[in-house]
Amino acid sequence: MEEIKRMDKSSKIYVAGHNGMVGSAIVRCLQNNGYNNIICMSHAKLDLTNQAATAKFFEEEKPEYVFLAAAKVGGIHANTTYPAAFIMENMLIECNVIKSSYENNVKKLMFLGSSCIYPKTCPQPIKEEYLLVGSLESTNEAYALAKISGIKMCQTYNKQYGTEYICAMPASLYGINDRFDIYNSHVIPSMIIKVHNAKIENIPFVELWGTGTPLREFLYVDDLADTCLFLMQTYQGNDFINIGSGQEISIKELATTIKRVIGYSGEIVFDSSKPDGTPRRVLNNTKIEETGWKPKIDIEEGIRREYEYYLNHVI
């Protein structure tokens, strides 16, 4: 087998999506581990959905390694309201970055996917081989299809051209630099906003979507970043890898934890007329656990850190 390509401290590394939650965590992780030649380009300066602009950037910068963390993301409301934007923008980013990486001899690329790629009702915990064995959850189908396409692009480039493009599928993420928008955020930041506002305004209850019964697995974003660096240095293969905490929590328990961290004394009520999304989603993390990797930050500590970030940097 060909020797695994490993980044040196001086290797030229491009982090696509460095202003996002995942990308910024990867940049922090790289910097904390002594990597000092990191390329970052804001969306205002480089639109990755623009093929010509992306090609020009790669031709000029010639990165050796790429972390593809750029994506259009959002929660159930955003995914169901803007499905065309979610599939189109994400697929354009993936096509442009992967194509330009190949054309400019990038040594290794990591593509970040999502656990929503898996069928709505597949067996739990979810193994990597369950991809495409059933129908997707309708509320995020467009985003999931784009991410599945990104995986297949990496795998087919590896097969046809002998590239070394690897894929990681994280559980639902949260943490520093999360997107805080009451309608277009993921579940944790959306809950933090609602519960915090209720506390400040002395509102007696907070209403949340669904029944509160779905089970989810959450991973703190800095744990993901540590894993991404580890895999970039050690993993070679065409199989993608799940990355999760191995701990699942109901949406109701999650809301209770957020309520406790924020110090809100009101009630949490659920509107069962609104969609729940997938009933249960927890990853089988056997592959990554066999490497010896384990997450460091549990859900309550992670929420505490995210709430502190919200208080100090968002409001």
Q: Which two tokens stand for residue 34?
A: 């002594």
3-state SS, residue 216: strand
Whether residue 72 contacts residue 179, with contact meaning beta carbons closer than 8 Å, is answered with no
Tell how far CA 146 is from the center of its chain: 13
Q: Could you tell me which of 20, 23, 5, 112 has the C-alpha nearest to residue 64?
A: 5
Token output for 193:
């906003």
Alpha carbon 29 to its chain centroid, in Å, reads: 15
Which residue among 118, 143, 174, 307 is the active-site one? 143
83-103 vs 51-61: helix axis angle to the nearest 10?
Answer: 30
- Residue 143 designated active-site: yes
Distances (CA, A) of 265 to 205, 307, 310: 9, 17, 19
For residue 166, what is the enclosing H or E element? strand 165-170
Cα dihedral 29→33→36→40 (10° resolution) = -10
Cβ atoms of 144 and 117 within 8 Å: the answer is yes
Alpha carbons 149 and 133: distance in angstroms, whole number:
15
Enumerate residues 6+ apart whose C-beta is below 8 A from 135: 119, 120, 121
For residue 125, whether the previous peptide bond is cis, meaning omega lies within 30 degrees of 0, is yes
Start-end of H helices in the chain:
21-32, 51-61, 76-81, 83-103, 141-161, 187-200, 221-234, 251-262, 286-289, 299-309
The catalytic residues are 143
